[in-house]
Every structure is written in structure tokens, then in C-alpha cells.
């Protein structure tokens, strides 16, 4: 065993750790030693039983847990810890893990934080502790041109909205799941925090509402795909209920589970959602239209989804800690797999508030080549073009076919340029995750367009200022350069994932600088946790990240809080100047998000 303080944290029995994240103190104990102690404790407490998929299964000798199927939330809280003061804007303070992320995770099944043994070992290492860290500075980026310094006055706020992505709201008891295949190399097949994610979604919506309380509300939000986890009807329904603030949201399928007896004290109890504080727009992702985001639904898979057998492991809430189990499950017809037309119908049938009706989709959409839409989110000024990049043949990477590229996309870009409006594209996949292969690793598709050609086409339209994306779960900003000064390119903005650490959304503001340039201000926002279930989601997602069972998505200083400068497109100059005449002079990103009222 070797422990190194100050940069590298652990090198013990094949478990190495060295952090690339600044400001994280080293862990205090060896995971392998803690695992041995915890495994002994769990085995001593439980009756004799079979170890299945890494968990200890109680058998007929009795129930040692007093009727509980999950630990009481409060009993999992770190001793002596308190929730840091609620600060949403990372310009004011950040959430800082109190342990260093390992670089080489322990891949043994029992060290998966999904299981009691893994969670208890990582809790003993302090992987569930966080504190209030320093503010994250804003970085001004001029990769696409612009003056070296920001203007001191004359700025106008043209648009104020939220970009978020990848909630991956899962029916964690579905037979479609691959829970038993989860590993550091195949992360996301099951997440320790997933049952608590609905509470995190409500917490984020509440935080977004509160951050603008008494001031200028967000105008809209764009959700860049993977709202559901496995294309199921009940998953999309739950997502919509949470975004619309429905009462009594019950994220539970088949048998009505109550892992901790009593109301309102476990993730399977009904609770009231909190509405997203503005109209929200939906962009489909691969998990919204494919089985676990990888396989285009077949007749056999549709039958399996509503069937009674799990082949690859799904959570079993009849067992302590709800471990993944293969075999018989209770069926539920609400697990029906959806296609694109089903999704659009469901979105069109949703309530009028917070809206908009259809969440971007018109009354009679054509989804034959994808569920695309175009909407003027700021009338007369800013249009969003939503491009459905999920591959009809399956596979998690995106695809853009020649028919879409030369048909819908080109026509909409031409129309927007003729209309003289600013344009943002929105898709689930960034172009770095677009390929030309059928499915996951299949043959090259003749009518698929390369990522480089897609980027070049979009960058040739100077009124395109940004492309909002998700999929990779990263907090990332990338400048995609155009051919010359008249065609500077656009900013690709990825805002991380709600499902995985750091569980953030991004506030975005489009500002006319009054000097021939625009600035896109992006500010990362943490949700403020007010209940144990919200805190448990955060602690478990952080644990998954620190233990190396989930990749790092936190980005660099140039990806987090940013000011992205771009010249005002000549074709949109008249629209920008007209809007600026009546636009607010208060820049919310530099006032409200800095704690100024």
C-alpha cells in the first residue's frame, strides 16, 4: 500500500489515484482496506445467501433490515456534515468534493457504488462529502474575433435562457436495462443516484425559478436530448410531469414500491414537481428513441420492454439496496417503446403552461427523416433550428443523412438568412459524436454526411452564432471556425448533464455589445438542495465520479463560465439594432448571477 498526498491520492493494491481537478484534498484511506472491512460487516449483518451481481441477497432466514429495502436517507448523511449555503451561480461559489478522484478505479463488482459494499467503502473514504469552494471566474474568449477588451457601456441584453441536457430519467425496474453490465469502462448502465434523479430535477427547476425571483425571468429553455433513458412511454411521461410541475409525480413502474415505509421518505413515493420557470423546448436524443440509447427498437425489443424477464439486470426493490437482478420482473404496459411520432404526439398533448404547446413541434410535423423543428424563440430576432441527429439504424453516435443535410437543414438555414435573424442550432449530438457508420460499429453508410462537412456547411452561414448540444455529458465550449472574417464560424456549447456529476445547467445570455460584436455569456448553475433526497442524489453522483465509475465531465476554466464573442452577422445587423433599441441594459449574467439585485 502506498499513499501519496498532494496531487496523487492512492496507489494501493492496483487502485491508483491521481487527480487532474484543482483544489481537491487527498483521500485518507485505502479503498481496498475499506472494502475488506465493509464486506466483513455486511456479511456479518446479513443472513447466509448467494452473492448475485455483487450484492448479498437476504434469504428465508428473516429480514435483518426491519422492513426497509433502502437505507433511510438521513442515515446515509456524513456525520457532522451540513449542506453548504445554497449558492446557485458558480460565479459566487462552487461545490467542491472533499476527496480526490481516482484515476484507475477498482473495477470489482462489489466496489461499484451502486451496491451497499461499494457505497459504504466510498463513504468511509469521504467520497460523499463536499463543501463550498471558491467562485469560478468568467473567461472571455475571442477565438472567432472581436476586440481585446469588453465594452464599458452601451450593452443590451437580447436573450436570456437556460441550456440543459441529459437527465436520462430511467425506469430503473425496466427489463430493457443493462444494469449487470455496468463497469468503469461501460459507465451509465446503472447509476447509484438514478432513483433520486426526479428530486434533483425538481430541485434544479426550483433553483432556476428562484435565481431570477424578483427580477427578469428566463425567456425559454432548451433541453438538448436524452430526457428519457430507454425510449419508454412512462419515462417520457415522468419527464414531462416534472418539467410541467405536476402534483403527485410517481416515478415507479409495475409493482408499487415503498422501500422505506411511510410517505415522502424514499425515491419511490409520489411527490410534487416544480415547473420549469419558462417555456421549454425539446430536442430528441438517442436515449429518447432507442433502447438504452443504443438499439433501434425491434418487434422483439418492444415485446421485451412490456414483458416479464430481465436478461441483463434491472433493479429489484424486493431486495435490500435494490441491486440489479436478472430474471423475472413484474411487467408494465406503460413501458411501451416510443417512436418519434409517439414522442411528438405526447409533447403536443401536454399542458399549455409552462409551454409552449408542442415544445417546438408544429401541429403536423413530418418525422420521416427525423424529429426536426424550427422556432423563433425571440420573435423577429433569434431562431432555433432543432436537428434530430439520432441514427435510425441504431447506435449511440449521431448521424446526419444527405437528405436531411441538403433538404431540411439547408432550407432552414437559407430561410433564416433571408429573414435576417440570428440562428442557434440545437441537437443532441455534437459533431464530435457524429459518424457515418450504421449502428454502433457497422458499415459506412453511403448517404451519411461527415462531421467535417456538417461543420463547414453550418459555419458558412454567418448568422449562425451557436450550436447547443449534449450527449457527451461534458461541460465544454468549442469554437468552430469558418472560412474567413465574413464567415467567422460559431460556438458549440455543451452544458453537461443533470444525470452525472457535476449535475449542472447553464444560463445563457445573448448580449449586443454596441461595438459590432455579440457576447454569449454562459454561467454554470448548481441546484440548491433543500431535502435529504436531493442531497443524496448529489452525494451519490459525486461518489460515482470520484470512484472512477463515471468519467470526468467537469471541463476546464475555458468551458465553464464564459463570455463568447462573435461579430454581429451582416445579414442580421438590422434585426439586432432594432431589438437593441428596446432591450434591457441590465446584463443578468453580470448582475443577477453575481448576486446583484
Q: Match 442531497 to its residue by C-alpha cell.
A: 535
End-to-end CA distance of the chain: 53
Pairing of strands 156-164, 220-223: parallel
Strand, helix or coil for residue 113? coil
CA distance 165 to 337: 21
Q: Phi and psi at residue 232, in whole multiples of 5°?
A: -95, 150
Query: What is the C-alpha to C-alpha distance for residues 197 and 187, in angstroms, rounded to an integer?
Result: 17
Q: What are the residues whose beta carbons fall under 8 Å from the beta carbon of 170, sequence distance 6 or more?
A: 177, 191, 194, 197, 228, 229, 230, 235
What would the grid cell of residue 118 be?
A: 461499494
Residues 220, 377 contacting (CB under 8 angstroms): yes
Q: Judge whether residue 181 has pLDDT over 70.
A: yes
Whether 13 shows a pLDDT value over 90: the answer reads no
Q: Which comes out higher in pLDDT, residue 20 or 98? A: 98
Taking 60 as the threshold, does the pLDDT of residue 379 lie above it?
yes
Q: Which residue is it, cell 459524436?
A: 433
Task: Give yes or no for residue 178 having a pLDDT over 50.
Answer: yes
Work out the average pLDDT over 280-300: 97
Separation between Cα atoms, residue 141 and residue 164, nearest integer Å: 21
Is the model's pLDDT at 48 over the cut of 80? no
Q: Which of 360, 204, 349, 223 is nearest to 277 (CA)?
A: 204
Q: Which residue has the higher pLDDT, 333 or 11?
A: 333
Contact between 436 and 429 (Cβ < 8 Å): no
Whether the CB-CB separation of 239 and 197 falls below 8 Å is answered with no
pLDDT band for 32, please (50, 70, 90 cuts).
low
Q: Which residue bears the cell 433493479? A: 315
pLDDT of residue 6: 28
Helix (H) or strand (E) holding 529: none
- What is the pLDDT, as a whole number, of residue 407? 98
Q: Binning pLDDT at 50, 70 and 90, where does residue 4 land?
A: very low
- On average, the pLDDT of the chain sits at 91
Predicted confidence at residue 14, as pLDDT, reads 28
**How far is Cα 396 from Cα 291, in angstroms, rounded to an integer?**
10
- Name the CATH superfamily housing domain 2-247+259-594: Metallo-dependent phosphatases (3.60.21.10)
| 26 pLDDT higher than 80 | no
Which pLDDT band, with edges at 50, 70 and 90, does 597 fall under? Answer: confident
Q: What average pLDDT score do residues 194-199 get? A: 98
Task: Look at residue 591 in the predicted model and tell me its pLDDT.
Answer: 97
C-beta of residue 254 within 8 angstroms of C-beta of residue 330:
yes
DSSP assignments along 530-582, one per residue? -SHHHHHHHHHHHHHHHTTSS------TTTSSEEEEEEPPGGGHHHHHHHHTT
Joined together, the cell numbers standing for residue 380 give 423577429
Contact 233, 341 (CB under 8 A): no
| Residues 396 and 413: beta-carbon distance below 8 Å | no
In this model, does residue 45 exceed pLDDT 50?
Answer: no
337-362 pLDDT, tens digit per residue, is 999 999 999 999 999 999 999 999 99
Q: Which of 223, 175, 226, 96 is nearest to 499 (CA)?
A: 226
Q: Average pLDDT for residues 539-562, to the nearest whole number?
A: 97
Q: Between β-strands 55-56 and 51-52, what pairing exists: parallel, antiparallel or unpaired?
A: antiparallel
What integer pLDDT is reported at residue 23 of this predicted model? 36
**What are residue 477's DSSP bridge partners?**
493
Taking only the tens place, the pLDDT of each residue in 87-102 is 999 999 999 999 999 9
Say which residues have a Cβ less than 8 Å from residue 194's Cβ, sequence separation at least 6.
168, 170, 172, 499
Would you list the DSSP string of 218-256? P-EEEE-S--BSSSBHHHHHHHHHHHHT-SSB----SS-
Report the alpha-carbon distance of residue 510 to residue 482 in Å, rounded. 20
d(CA 451, CA 455): 6
On the CB side of 133, CA atoms within 13 Å amount to 17
β-sheet bridge partners, residue 137: none
Per the model's pLDDT, the better-predicted residue between 326 and 21 turns out to be: 326
Predicted confidence at residue 41, as pLDDT, reads 59
DSSP for 369-396, please give it: T---EEEEEETTTEEEEEE--B-TT--S
pLDDT score for 414: 98
Of 416, 526, 534, which Cα lies nearest the Cα of 164?
526
Q: Per-residue pLDDT tens for 570-582?
A: 999 999 999 999 9
Determine the pLDDT at residue 40: 56
Per-residue confidence (pLDDT) for residue 360, from 0 to 100: 98
Q: Buried (b) or exposed (e) across 339-373, using 16+ Cβ within 10 A? A: ebebbbebbeebeeebbbbbbbbeeebebeebbbb
Mean pLDDT of 167-175: 98
Residue 235 has pLDDT above 70, yes or no: yes
Distance CA 88, CA 504 (A): 10
77 vs 129: CA distance, rounded Å:
9
Instruction: Give the single-character DSSP code of 50.
Output: -
Nearest one of 379, 377, 558, 568 to 465, comparing CA atoms: 568
Nearest C-alpha neighbor of 387 from the set 360, 363, 364:
360
Name beta bridge partners: 86: none
Q: Provide the sign of the torsion angle of the four alpha carbons 270, 283, 563, 520, taken in this order.
A: negative
Binned at pLDDT 50, 70 and 90, residue 30 comes out as low
Instruction: Among 45-54, 290-299, 426-435, name the one with the lowest average pLDDT.
Output: 45-54
Inter-residue contact 320 to 309 (CB < 8 Å): no
Q: What whole-number percentage of the chain has pLDDT above 90?
A: 84
Question: What is the per-residue pLDDT for 39?
Answer: 55
Task: For the chain, give the percent of residues with pLDDT over 70.
Answer: 90
Amino acid at each position: 500500500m502506498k499513499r501519496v498526498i498532494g496531487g496523487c491520492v492512492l496507489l494501493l493494491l492496483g487502485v491508483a489515484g491521481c487527480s487532474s481537478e484543482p483544489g481537491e484534498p487527498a483521500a485518507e484511506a485505502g479503498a481496498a482496506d475499506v472494502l475488506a472491512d465493509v464486506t466483513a460487516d455486511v456479511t456479518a449483518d446479513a443472513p447466509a445467501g448467494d452473492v448475485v451481481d455483487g450484492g448479498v441477497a437476504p434469504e428465508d432466514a428473516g429480514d435483518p433490515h426491519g422492513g426497509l429495502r433502502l437505507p433511510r436517507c438521513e442515515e446515509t448523511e456524513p456525520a457532522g456534515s451540513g449542506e453548504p449555503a445554497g449558492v446557485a451561480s458558480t460565479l459566487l461559489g462552487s461545490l467542491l468534493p472533499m476527496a480526490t478522484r481516482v484515476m484507475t478505479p477498482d473495477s470489482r463488482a462489489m466496489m461499484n457504488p451502486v451496491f451497499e459494499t461499494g457505497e459504504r467503502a466510498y463513504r468511509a473514504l469521504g467520497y460523499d462529502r463536499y463543501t463550498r469552494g471558491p467562485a469560478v471566474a468568467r473567461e472571455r474568449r475571442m477565438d472567432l474575433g472581436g476586440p481585446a477588451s469588453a465594452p464599458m457601456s452601451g450593452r443590451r441584453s437580447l436573450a436570456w435562457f437556460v441550456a440543459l441536457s441529459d437527465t436520462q430519467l430511467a425506469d430503473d425496474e425496466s427489463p430493457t436495462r443493462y444494469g449487470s453490465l455496468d463497469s468503469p469502462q461501460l459507465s451509465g448502465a446503472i447509476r447509484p443516484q438514478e432513483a433520486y434523479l426526479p428530486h434533483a430535477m425538481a430541485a434544479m427547476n426550483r433553483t432556476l425559478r428562484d435565481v431570477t425571483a424578483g427580477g427578469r425571468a428566463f425567456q425559454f429553455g432548451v433541453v438538448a436530448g436524452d430526457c428519457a433513458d430507454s425510449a419508454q412511454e412512462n419515462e417520457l411521461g415522468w419527464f414531462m410531469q416534472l418539467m410541467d410541475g405536476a402534483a403527485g409525480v410517481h416515478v415507479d413502474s409495475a409493482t408499487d414500491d415503498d422501500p422505506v415505509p411511510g410517505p415522502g421518505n424514499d425515491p419511490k413515493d409520489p411527490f410534487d414537481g416544480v415547473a420549469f420557470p419558462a417555456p421549454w423546448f425539446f430536442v430528441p436524443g438517442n436515449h429518447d428513441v432507442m433502447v438504452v440509447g443504443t438499439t433501434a427498437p425491434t418487434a422483439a425489443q418492444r415485446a421485451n420492454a412490456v414483458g416479464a424477464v430481465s436478461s441483463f439486470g434491472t433493479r429489484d426493490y424486493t431486495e435490500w439496496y435494490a441491486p440489479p437482478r436478472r430474471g423475472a420482473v413484474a411487467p408494465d404496459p406503460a413501458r411501451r417503446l416510443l417512436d418519434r411520432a409517439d414522442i411528438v404526439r405526447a409533447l403536443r398533448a401536454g399542458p399549455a403552461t409552462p409551454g409552449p404547446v408542442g415544445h417546438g413541434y408544429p401541429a403536423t410535423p413530418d418525422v420521416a427523416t427525423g424529429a426536426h423543428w424550427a422556432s423563433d424563440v425571440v420573435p423577429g430576432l433569434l431562431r432555433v433550428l432543432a436537428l434530430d441527429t439520432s441514427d435510425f439504424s441504431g447506435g449511440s453516435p449521431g448521424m446526419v443523412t444527405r437528405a436531411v443535410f441538403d433538404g431540411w437543414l439547408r432550407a432552414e438555414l437559407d430561410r433564416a438568412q433571408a429573414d435576417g435573424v440570428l440562428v442557434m442550432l440545437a441537437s443532441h449530438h455534437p459533431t464530435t459524436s457524429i459518424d457515418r457508420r450504421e449502428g454502433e460499429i457497422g458499415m459506412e453508410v453511403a448517404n451519411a454526411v461527415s462531421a467535417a462537412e456538417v461543420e463547414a456547411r453550418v459555419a458558412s452561414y454567418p448568422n449562425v452564432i451557436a450550436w447547443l448540444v449534449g450527449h457527451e455529458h461534458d461541460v465544454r465550449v468549442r469554437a468552430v471556425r469558418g472560412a474567413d472574417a465574413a464567415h467567422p464560424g460559431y460556438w458549440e456549447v455543451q452544458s453537461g448533464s443533470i444525470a452525472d456529476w457535476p449535475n449542472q445547467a447553464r444560463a445563457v445570455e445573448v448580449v449586443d455589445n454596441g461595438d459590432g460584436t455579440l457576447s454569449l455569456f454562459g454561467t454554470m448553475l448548481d441546484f440548491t438542495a433543500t431535502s435529504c433526497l436531493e442531497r443524496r442524489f448529489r452525494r451519490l453522483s459525486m461518489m460515482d465520479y470520484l470512484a472512477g465509475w463515471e468519467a470526468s465531465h467537469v471541463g476546464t476554466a475555458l468551458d465553464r463560465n464564459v463570455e463568447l464573442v462573435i461579430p454581429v452577422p451582416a445579414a442580421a445587423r438590422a434585426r439586432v439594432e432594432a431589438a437593441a433599441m428596446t432591450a434591457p441594459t441590465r446584463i443578468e449574467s453580470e448582475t443577477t448571477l453575481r448576486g446583484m439585485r
